[in-house]
Structure 1
Amino acid sequence: MTQPSPFAEIWRGPFLESVHSGHAVICDDTGQIVEAWGDPATVILPRSSSKMIQALPLLTSGAADKARLGTEQLALACASHNGAAIHTDRVETWLSTLGLDDSDFRCGPQEPDDREARDGLIRAGQSPCQVHNNCSGKHAGFLTLNKHLGGGADYVDPAHPVQRACLAAFEEVTGESSPGYGIDGCSAPNFACSLQGMARAMAGFAAAPEGSAEARLHQAMRLHPELVAGEGRACTELMRAMDGKVALKTGAEGFFIAILPEQKLGIALKAACGTTRAAECAIAAILVRLGVLDPNHPATLKRMNAPITNRRDIVTGVLKPAADLL
């Protein structure tokens, strides 16, 4: 097995203090590897980076059009949002149009990452609801598909028609038979594949024709970056920095994907240590390498060549990409 490749370095003064390593693959629209670091064949769980794939049956079944979902709902179906009002208000409206409420979710409650929303709940003496879960948009999509299919209430069961449809879509776009799944933080199954399979899937999204399910989903993400993640988040800020020309999606445990429609390329990467800062630094460096992200944009400089400060705001070090990525 090929060992992980260096991704990101932490320098403190003149000393190399830490090194993050990982695996990354860029595929073209034929599914072939353009560039790779580490082991393209490593088996991974893409976590929330696979939400666009999980949303495919929502469109291909006709459920999205029957429910008259717009680009905002499609972006939320692909989102790992902050639980801000801009997210929860839209998801609650979506649920109400289905004749459903928070109790129909199976994602579990989560304290919002958005500070204003979190403080508002505290001031009101209220507990977080399932709509605050960062995956509530995806689950609203599941519920929309479930209503269309007429399935039972436990739509996260791996044997449920909703999840069987997600697995079929996953295996089709990755070009692989999944070796299994893990249960994600939101209780839905998360199917495994090779890292190349995930990059191949993202390249397929990038090259998909206008009007296809894949194109509609990545277009919605690029049109509404604020709904895909939220203020201060890498997905949102980097998509804005690239003027909506590239779709980005993070996943837990150091995963990231990118969909580049103009170049018809797909990227998938996994930080071996599972840390967010390594994955964000690596995806920014690769996007700079490909010429689609300005290395001097403020959003870029928060993730690569980023100063590390202490509690007195003194610069003590720097986070920078490993040389092999540049």
Structure 2
Amino acid sequence: MLEISPVIALLVFFVIVMLLISLFYPGKGLFHKYKRMQQNDNRVLIEDALKHIFDYENQNLSPTLNSLAGNMGVSTDKISDIIKELKSHKLILLQEHKISLTNSGKIYALKIIRIHRLWESYLAEETGVKELDWHDEAEKVEHTMTQKDADELSAKMGNPKFDPHGDPIPTTDGKVFNVSGKLLNNVGDNKIVKILHIEDEPKSIYSELRDKGLHKGKEIKIISKSENGLKIALDGKEIKLTSIAASKVLVDVLEKSEFINKKSKTLADLSIGEIGKVIQLLPTCRGQQRRRLLDFGIVPGAEISVYMKNPLDDPAAYLVKDTIVALRNNQAQEIEIVI
């Protein structure tokens, strides 16, 4: 008969006890952590579903199982389970396969949207996070930030009414400022419009629109429309947009007939020997970079000259009052001037 040393038996017993504790310790064991992760994942899906339904209702569209599944990247079977859970919590109504939010569901959705848009505003104004990453970062935070933290963040930023894309930020009691306008693809030929909002999803289309020079506050003119899209004038160029891309841009139709399609000059266009007067820092210049430029004295009315050009053109040194400031080309392009 095999004899086991009491010391070894005690060690085995100790290892088994420690393993059981690490697996099942209340609140901290691996099993409980796994269950909590599942619950968190499920909560994220519930909140994403509420946001999607709210967004569709806000556009006078009817959300479906397929639209939810496509937007959230899960199967329709999983969406069916989420719908059942939403209904059991009285967050949605189901009437002849039509999905709509209850008042409680709308309040819940607005809380998530408020956090998302506040965090995008924070990233835009207080950090150096790239613009194309604002949305993805806010998607993470919206599911973890408390309402108390959101209220404190809002107060710290002066209770902004709109996020950097032009979307209204819901108030703490669920009120939303109305933004009236037309989608760019619904505006007629030869109309001059001002951009109110650019939808930041999907990222590929948002990136395309930004690369073409479209941003909140920009004035453009519709030259012509067709089934495939439209042609617009801005910054001395004529640009083609697809109908899908144009449908992501909300605009205000301006009551004026004169539109000068001329590229604005920026500090990057300044040559040695020329003096430029600052008109404005472009709306796309935000956060830490905007504050840095303002601290250098680069404000409307300030006169700037080129002190030294890099042989490779980047960076260049500029003289602002009595201070030499080095700026990269992409930074100088954010400063509109008149020569």
TM-score range, shorter chain: under 0.3
**Over alpha carbons, which structure has the higher Rg?**
2
Q: TM-score, normalised by structure 1?
A: 0.25
